[in-house]
Structure 1
Amino acid sequence: MNPHKSFRIAVVGAGPVGLAFALQAARALPGCELQLFDARALDGQRSADARVLALNLGSVQQLQRLGAWEPARAEPILEVSVSQVAPGRTDLRLRAAELGQPLLGAVLPYGDVLQPLEQAWLGLSSPRLASRGGQKVTELKTLADGRIELDAGVAEAFDLVVLAEGGLFTEQAPRPWRRDYGQTAWIGTLRLATSWPRGLAVERFTRQGPLAVLPLPDDAAGRRASLVWCTAADEAPQQLSEARLRALLPACAQAVQGIEGALKPFPLGLNAQPRLVQGRLLRIGNAAQALHPVAGQGLNLGLRDAHQLVSCLRDGGSLDAALARFERQRQPDRLALLGTTDGLARVFTGEGAALGLAREAGLRLLQALPPLRGALARQLMFGWR
């Protein structure tokens, strides 16, 4: 396949992963026709979605290359503290400065990731690019010649359909690799005192599930952070008090001024496809895998899917050969991250002295061996390379 040869691509889902793929493909595949479908209108306005996203350094660099990164909207992560709730606990520290990097990643609201990407896409002007906002895809069918017929009110055939519309764990149809963790992630905003170190993210493993505090840009009221508090699914929200939160963050308790507003619940699970490619139908991002947020890597994995897919399509050969190469090249990174997040979600949750000692031993090993700690940090920043 000559990269300048004309073929038709439909991208279903105009979230960050779908938009990142569409933008890169529009620039790298000048002979291809691209149509971007989404059930919502594509108008470049800021989304009201309250979710907060943690991007690793590789994702930040990818958005910078796409011209879709606004640093003023993001708070850099300069240091990560990882520990469990236990006497004599080890506080594992990952620092950008020790790795020779300007930052480990950044935190920002979902709308501040989506809007620059959508505006960059809408800013492209070409008859071969089309935005199909407000058009929900209702049916996909493989034709005899291998193309995919897509129905969004009118049936059209495409050489390749990229599914990038995933939804939340509870909204998805069951996939072959599925695990319900029996946990709920409670998402909200913390108010912090100025004594909280700038750029510090905290991950605490409790018996009920992980607890994360991710720094956000200041607003008019001062310092703040995103709270991701994972608990047993049957835990009542009134049990998630500020006093309990401070008890789980003893070293930082004085800097936590309080929870702002109500916490919102999101049930947690793993739901993944073993293979990304089925004929000319391909899945990336949450359409391929929903992960536990324990390491904050779901969107980062999806953005790497998008980047690698464009690279394979650009490199030449037949379309089917390019898709087979994409499947082969993505597997190590995908499987490593799926295994890591699933293992962390299970091993770092639960009762028992033996389990607590095993968790502590793992953290101490990482703290004592800088090369191993650095390898872990680089995988979190850039994925499997």
Structure 2
Amino acid sequence: MQGQSLRTPAPALRLAVIGAGPAGLALALRAAQALPAAEVTLFDARTPGHDVARDPRTLALSLGSVQLLRRLGAWPLDVAQPIAEVHVSQAPPTLELPLAGLRQAEVRIRAADEAVPMLGAVLAYGALVAPMQAAWFACAQAGPQRLHTRFGHPVRAVKPLEGDAGVEVDAGIAERFDLAVVAEGGVFADQARKAIAHDYGQTAWVGTATLEGAAPGVAFERFTREGPLALLPLPASSDGARRAALVWCVASADDPVGALDDTQRIAVINTRLPEAAGRVVALSPLKAFALGLNAERTLVHGRTVRIGNAAQTLHPVAGQGLNLGLRDAFALVHALRDLRDATGVDAALRRVEWARAPDRWSMIAATDFLARSFTWRWPGLSAARGVALAALQAAAPLKSALARQMMFGRR
């Protein structure tokens, strides 16, 4: 009897999280908080000593995502740039807007108009992942019986087991879990094609711009003949200069960017941006990424769930890929909270699938439509897009509804 009283009780759920990027870390941290009877194992190919804080890639997060990360206690407030306003506009040439009240082909969404402190925030990938990873290590150290870290162990395969026995995760040593969540996404060019795939024939040139005359905290998206051009505000540099993350999408077959030097690129960008964006005076080296849609039809396959880019890789026109992944992660943990043992996992996963479908598919459809529209050469299309932007600006309730969906997803 004495030996039985000292025996560690079996976990209600054995959960494997594969991928320690923002979505995977958020899921693991939330599971550690909200599933005290679960055993959570986090896998990643990188070693524990890898300095992820140096990763300069830029992340744009909605207000809803910021709130979710704050609940985890891992939001790096001091290094994130709040977005106070989003300015979306159509570059000339466009037709004159003949309708009363439709004066400019632009939409301005302001945090103040929505009575929120910010619409979202922008920060470097490493600035977000490093504190999230440190928070996970602290949790795992405090609860070593149920929280495990398998860094430096790339997962080779996830295999379903017969019946309701769960899955086998092979990371050099095969381990059995009740549920595996795949959060390793990668970029479109490197991914195996999923059930729904489309190559947009577009390239995103990505880097950092230094600006003069730019208002702080304003994000710009400019619809041009070549594709969307976005500037996302970053924290000022050490000398006080305004900076922004640049995402410049163009047709791959007729790429106007690749052959240009930095001086020429700056000149072209400044002809494309609205006056309110200020002037680009310097550019970092730009990196090119192929763009496409690559999505699973469902998040759930048996006892394997995919979230973030592992479930859907989207065009960056709306900047919603990571935000979708974070909402997926929190919805999954919420559905698992009341499980007493693994027998209820399948019903919980069905609830997650149904609950996430409206948000997921509305965002996939919207970004796919916008991405494809930049390849169309229909007469009057540019003018129609400009009229639509102006009409949206004039329709305050519709603009507010759009702002709420971009901040919090479809509810």
TM-score range (shorter-chain normalised) is over 0.9
Match of 2:326 among 292, 303, 316: 303
Alignment of 1:255 onto 2:273: no
Alignment RMSD (CA, Å) = 1.6
The structure-2 alpha-carbon separation of the partners of 1:187 and 1:224, relative to structure 1 and needing over 3 Å to count, comes to same
Give 3-state SS (helix, strand or coil) of 2:259's partner: helix
Structure 2 gaps of 5+ residues are 1-9, 97-103
Q: CA deviation at 1:143?
A: 1.3
Aligned partners of 1:207 and 1:350 also within 8 Å: no
Alignment deviations for residues 333-364 of structure 1 (CA, whole Å, 9 cap, x no partner): 00010011111112245434321122112112
Give the TM-score of the pair, scaled to structure 2.
0.89
Alignment of structure 1 residues 19-168 onto 2, 5 Å: 19-43=25-49, 45-87=51-93, 89-124=104-139, 125-126=142-143, 127-146=145-164, 147-168=166-187
Out of 208-217 and 5-14, give the one that drifted further: 5-14
C-alpha spacing 1:196/1:112, structure 2 compared with 1 (3 Å) = same
| One-letter code aligned to 2:132 | L
Aligned length: 380
Deviation at 1:220, TM superposition (A): 1.5
Tell me, yes or no, if the aligned pair for 2:270 and 2:279 is still in contact at 8 Å.
Answer: no
User: Given the superposition, is the C-alpha separation of residues 172 and 69 from structure 1 closer, same or farther in structure 2, using an over 3 Å criterion?
Assistant: same
CA contact (8 A) 1:285 1:302 kept: yes
Q: Does 1:238 align with 2:289?
A: no
Q: How does 1:200-349 map to 2 (within 5 A)?
A: 200-221=218-239, 222-234=241-253, 235=255, 236-239=257-260, 241-252=265-276, 254-259=278-283, 261-316=284-339, 318-349=344-375
Bigger drift between 127-136 and 142-151 goes to: 142-151
Are the counterparts in 2 of residues 206 and 349 from structure 1 also a CA contact under 8 Å? no
Question: Do the aligned residues in 1 keep the contact of 2:222 with 2:274 (CA within 8 Å)?
Answer: no
**Distance in 2 of aligned mates of 1:96 and 1:253:** 18
Structure with higher Rg: it is 2
The change in CA–CA distance for 1:43 and 1:28 in structure 2 (over 3 A counts) is farther
Would you identify which runs of 4 or more consecutive aligned residues in structure 1 move more than 4 Å?
none
Q: State which drifts further: 196-205 or 227-236.
A: 227-236
8 Å CA contact 2:392, 2:399 repeated in 1: yes
Instruction: Classify the secondary structure of the residue corresponding to 1:238.
Output: coil
Normalising by structure 1, report the TM-score.
0.95
2:49 and 2:27 map into 1 onto residues whose CA distance is 18
- How many percent of aligned residue pairs carry the same amino acid? 53
- The offset of 1:11, in angstroms, is 0.6
Give the Cα–Cα distance (whole angstroms) in 1 for the partners of residues 151 and 65 of structure 2: 25
Gaps in structure 1 of 5+ consecutive residues: none
